[in-house]
Amino acid sequence: MHIEPGVVDGAKLALSYATAAAAGGLLLKMSWDTIRNDGGVAALAMRSVATTLLVFSFFEIFPHHAVGVSEVHLILGSTLYLMFGAGPAAIGLALGLLVQGLFFAPFDLPQYGMNVTTLLVPLYAMSLIARRIIPAGTAYKDVSYKQALALSTSYQGGIVMWVGFWALYGHGFGAENLSQIAAFGAAYMLVIIVEPIADLAVLAIAKNVSGTIGNPMFNGRLHRPAAA
């Protein structure tokens, strides 16, 4: 989902600053929800350190390939959400992306506003969808493949939509640009095949590891239903 340098440049970058500010507002809201409802500041801080390290690893260690207007990454956004909660997932995505840019890919820094928007807005949308499709009486360790697939589809689909928007905003509706957007979208949606399996595999481990029960390092909803 890294927007390639030159896709949007010049004065058009101003829009990315505005959308990044809006995405930052969503990050603050998701973080406040964690502080208020799931462990307080200490839990948010611990989980955010974990998610930042994981996201950095996803970007630097997992395979990633440039396809069309962007790169295809296995980000595991729904896995981060289920294991750690929306607030820590949002902070981890934002900081992991920033650390990578600062130390390993400075050429990506001008695109940071676009990239962080592309990651965080779909995460917030996915959190709203999770509230609708996962009953309050279901702990996240017990989600079904169908539910995990719906979360992954919403998150990865949102990323593809934002990448497409940035590419159209930067280079218009020419045939070559549309072809590159389509190539990226087709490649990226293959992640949907992998992510729900990863979700269920990680949740199965969590279900059988007693150390995750009541551990403030993990989302409180992981092992217990939502609070009434």
| Secondary structure in 3-state letters for 63-97 | CCEEECCEEECCCCHHHHHHHHCHHHHHHHHHHHH
Cβ neighbours for 184, distance < 8 A, ≥ 6 positions apart = 67, 68, 69, 70, 72, 160, 163, 164, 167
The CA distance from 61 to 46, in Å, is 22
Residue 44 main-chain phi, psi, to 5 deg: -60, -45
Output the pLDDT for position 16: 96
Cβ-contact 199, 148 below 8 angstroms:
yes
Q: What share of the chain is helix, strand, coil (3-state, %, to 5)?
A: 75, 5, 20
Domains of the chain: 10-222 (1.10.1760.20)
Output the pLDDT for position 228: 52
The predicted model gives 5-21 an average pLDDT of: 94
Cβ-contact 78, 123 below 8 angstroms:
no
Mean pLDDT of the chain: 91
HSE at residue 124, side-chain half, CA atoms within 13 A, is 18
Partnered with residue 65 across adjacent β-strands are 72
- pLDDT for 33-80, tens place per residue? 999 999 999 999 999 999 999 999 988 888 777 888 888 888 889 999
Residue length of the chain: 228
- pLDDT for 70-105, tens place per residue? 888 888 899 999 999 999 999 999 999 999 999 998
